[in-house]
């Protein structure tokens, strides 16, 4: 059995939904279909989820967003019209959206979750109606009824373990099941959404729960590329990579697949196949537990902006018991999370997401580090980009770090920070954000050009 998920671009129009129908019905093993909300029809378009967020924010600000909601409903109406669905389908969707728009706002976060989730929920109903109209046994499945129960008690949305046992019962269903992505319910039947692009997570959870043989994720590209195609022309396609490699690449900016979505599939040992709705014959990219390292040390290069660093130096820091704990406690008490902590014997650097460090928070943290930890030197650097060089093969190749450093030096890119994970699957370079593109191009030239291939 296969669980198959389609992203927003695959569901943006009636024409796209016809492609989805052909893909699903061409393989009888594709029995659970996870859908996103309709995405962009062109580069100037707006995603339905973004429109719904705007509706919710307007309502919470005391404005009536009915006109904007009509724009959302029109998107579904246009798709239904293209597919020649009955007006009852659109009427049901319209009624549901208005009930969500004018729902109780006493908990703004829950209110927004409910409204956002309506994008996927109503699209699943529309897709199910289309499949049925075309003569296939298909039905919409509500996540609560299926047993997808979530909690956010630890500060982020988690699946309760008993959910997987309940979801296994979906295997017994004979119809094609159309399941809305992006959200589930608490035990009290309140809607909880995952982070953006969370439909990937839903698909992975369902693959785990139903013990699927394969989780297929359809998007609008033929494969995962070795580097962002907006930075390097016609980059190399990756045919196969491991969960760990994909996790590192997704974290550092690869948007093809949500990084959190790997966890349920990884734990169940279910391979993930990324394919293109617009070119389903293309092989795509497969994510597996293990692969043969026959491509050289590096499988991919990713980058992301929006970071800053706090550098702290103190003589004999390594002998001071509790220094690290006290430092992290200062961050915790300022509601700041960290990304990485490269360190030496007398210094340590905290890498943070830039948006967390406004002027007031930064001043408070610096003052407390001075007063409570008596640091000799503190320096904050803003506008950093992190470049991630990833590959299982790096564990078996000597000199990969030297090659990367030399490639950056040749292009006169100054390395602000370097860190290699203990798994040796990735190495990370911190550079000025203005040098991000130049750094990625230099690294790609080093590891993926014809000259580099000969060296390997």
CB atoms within 10 A of CB 28: 10
Bridge partners of 274, per DSSP, are 217, 285
Rounded Cα–Cα distance for residues 382 and 439 (Å): 18
User: Is 219 among the annotated ligand-binding positions?
Assistant: yes
Q: Assess contact for 300 and 227: CB atoms under 8 A.
A: yes
Q: Is residue 398 classed exposed, middle or buried when 0-12, 13-18 and 19+ CB atoms within 10 A define those classes?
A: exposed
Kindly state the DSSP code that residue 135 receives in the 8-state scheme: T
Q: Is residue 168 classed exposed, middle or buried when 0-12, 13-18 and 19+ CB atoms within 10 A define those classes?
A: middle
User: Is 225 among the annotated ligand-binding positions?
Assistant: yes
User: Is 335 among the annotated ligand-binding positions?
Assistant: no
Of 339, 18, 375, 48, nearest to 196 by C-alpha is 48
Rounded Cα–Cα distance for residues 305 and 410 (Å): 22
- With b meaning 16 or more CB within 10 Å and e meaning fewer, what string describes 349-383? bbbbeeebbeeeebeebbebbeeebebeebeebee
Q: Assess contact for 242 and 289: CB atoms under 8 A.
A: yes
Backbone angles phi, psi at 439, to 5 degrees: -65, -45
Q: What is the DSSP string of 230-276?
A: TTSSSPPEESEEEHHHHHHHHHTT--SS-GGGHHHHHHHT--EEEEE
Pairing of β 2-6 and β 214-219: parallel
Rounded Cα–Cα distance for residues 260 and 263 (Å): 6
Q: Assess contact for 427 and 401: CB atoms under 8 A.
A: yes
CA 324 to chain centre: 30
The annotation places the binding site for ATP at: 219-220, 225
The annotation places the binding site at: 219-220, 225
């Amino acid at each position: 059995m296969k669980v198959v998920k389609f992203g927003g671009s695959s569901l943006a129009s009636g024409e796209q939904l016809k492609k989805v129908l052909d893909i699903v019905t061409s393989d009888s093993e594709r029995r659970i279909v996870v859908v996103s909300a309709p995405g962009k029809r062109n580069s100037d378009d707006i995603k339905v989820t973004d429109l719904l967020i705007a509706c919710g924010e307007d309502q919470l600000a005391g404005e009536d967003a009915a006109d904007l909601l009509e724009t959302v409903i029109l998107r579904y109406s246009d798709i239904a019209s293209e597919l020649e669905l009955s007006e009852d389908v659109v009427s049901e969707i319209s009624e549901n959206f208005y009930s969500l728009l004018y729902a109780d706002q006493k908990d703004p976060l829950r209110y927004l979750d409910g409204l956002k989730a309506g994008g996927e929920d109503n699209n699943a109903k529309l897709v199910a109606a289309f499949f049925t109209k075309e003569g296939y046994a298909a039905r919409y499945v509500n996540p609560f009824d299926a047993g997808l129960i979530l909690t956010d008690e630890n500060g982020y949305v988690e699946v309760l373990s008993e959910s997987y046992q309940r979801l296994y019962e979906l295997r017994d269903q004979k119809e094609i099941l159309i399941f809305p992505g992006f959200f589930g319910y608490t035990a009290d039947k309140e809607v909880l959404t995952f982070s953006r692009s969370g439909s990937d997570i839903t698909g992975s959870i369902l693959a785990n729960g139903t013990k699927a043989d394969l989780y297929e994720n359809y998007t609008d590209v033929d494969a995962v590329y070795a580097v962002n195609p907006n930075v390097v022309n016609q980059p190399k396609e990756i045919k196969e990579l491991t969960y760990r490699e994909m996790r590192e690449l997704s974290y550092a900016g690869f948007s093809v697949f949500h990084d959190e979505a790997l966890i349920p599939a990884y734990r169940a040992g279910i391979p993930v196949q990324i394919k293109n709705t617009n070119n389903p014959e293309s092989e795509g990219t497969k994510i597996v537990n293990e692969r043969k390292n026959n491509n050289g040390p590096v499988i991919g290069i990713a980058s992301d902006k929006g970071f800053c660093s706090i550098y702290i130096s103190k003589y004999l820091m390594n002998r001071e018991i509790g220094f690290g704990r006290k430092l992290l406690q200062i961050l915790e008490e300022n509601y700041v999370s960290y990304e990485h902590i490269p360190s030496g014997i007398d210094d340590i650097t905290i890498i943070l997401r830039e948006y967390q460090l406004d002027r007031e928070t930064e001043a408070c943290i610096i003052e407390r580090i001075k007063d409570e930890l008596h640091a000799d030197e503190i320096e904050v650097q803003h506008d950093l980009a992190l470049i991630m060089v990833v590959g299982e093969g790096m564990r078996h190749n000597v000199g990969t770090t030297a090659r990367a450093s030399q490639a950056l030096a040749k292009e006169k890119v100054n390395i602000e920070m370097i860190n290699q994970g203990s798994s040796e699957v990735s190495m990370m370079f911190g550079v000025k954000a203005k040098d991000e593109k130049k750094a990625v191009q230099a690294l790609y030239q080093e590891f993926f050009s014809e000259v580099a291939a000969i060296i390997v």
